Amino acid sequence: MQSRSFSVRLLLAVTGAVLFVVYLAVGAAVVELLTTVATTSLHPLVFLASLLVCSLLFGYVSYRGGTAAILGSLDAWELPRDRAPQLYARVDRLCDRMQVESPTLLVAQMPAPNALAIGGRDGGTVVLSTSLFRLLTLDELETIVAHELAHIESRDSLVQTLGLSLAETVGGVIFLFLLPVGLFVAGIRRSLRWMTGRRTESFASHLRRTHAQVATVVFGLLFVVTLALRAHSRRRELAADDRAASVTGKPITLARALARIERASKPPGGLLSPLYIHGEEESALGQLLATHPPMTDRIQRLVDRAEASWTTIEIE
């Protein structure tokens, strides 16, 4: 009995040692393959540049397709010039002061009174909810449109889309590089379990668990990048407020418009939520993932800006 137990342990140890050698050989082969590919085909910098270009191209195509999808989901209609001549006159003046072409003004039924900007400088679109025309004065509506034009002027939606596409591409590349490393490390651990006579999992379970562990690492990296992109989005919202206040000269009017929107309703989540001018999250994680700063902070910044300009005028 004791002899059989020794034989089993010896067999497990030999199996583990063989697996250890096999995993080392596979790891060395993978390193050799990657080294050969890197030295005999594309230069690493050329490869990275090609990957970057492809990622940006894919992001741009996704941006164009996403723009069409958003417009299709809104079921919006174009606002005729003869129906809102005063608003169009103000929009034309804003475009003359800003580096944008006259946008297409669309009207749509939205769950919340809001506005959103789609597209770039050469052919942007501003969508206004029907409730804004009942809720805001013409001056207030002008400042809201100026805020959206500021997003078009800075190509904010394009930058966000390209940033997300680049992050996903980098995440995929990291996953492809980490997976062989993860399999190698997990394989060594599995062979050591054989050598020490401990119970081992099936090879299929071994692959699934390693895949999940590597995916968790990549997901964590992408989550950090997402937080950075959302922080950039919140900064762009504040920059759009500043640009609108500067180009219209009406920071208090914009603050009043935002306050009216804030009191009217809160927008739901979904496909269009990152594009809404409104944004409010209560939890700490929600604030980190929010695309917009708290509305109260935006309003206070505009009030402070107006007070600073009044103080300057009084001193002069």
CA distance 226 to 229: 5
- Please say whether the beta carbons of 278 and 238 come within 8 A: no
Rg (CA), the chain: 29
> Which is catalytic among the residues 140, 142, 148, 237?
148
CA distance 147 to 245: 8
Q: Which two tokens stand for residue 144?
A: 């809201």
What is each CA distance from 78 to 106, 222, 294, in whole angstroms? 4, 38, 31
Tokens 């400088």 found at: 121
- Residue 163: name the closest of 278, 58, 281, 242 by CA: 58
For this structure, is 148 an active site residue? yes
- Please say whether the beta carbons of 65 and 118 come within 8 A: no
DSSP 8-class letter at 126: E
DSSP 8-class letter at 84: S
- Please say whether the beta carbons of 255 and 303 come within 8 A: yes
Range list of H helices, the chain: 2-40, 44-74, 85-97, 130-135, 138-154, 156-195, 203-248, 251-264, 284-289, 295-315
CA distance 304 to 297: 10
**CB atoms near residue 81 (< 10 Å):** 13
Q: Looking at the annotation, which residues are catalytic?
A: 148
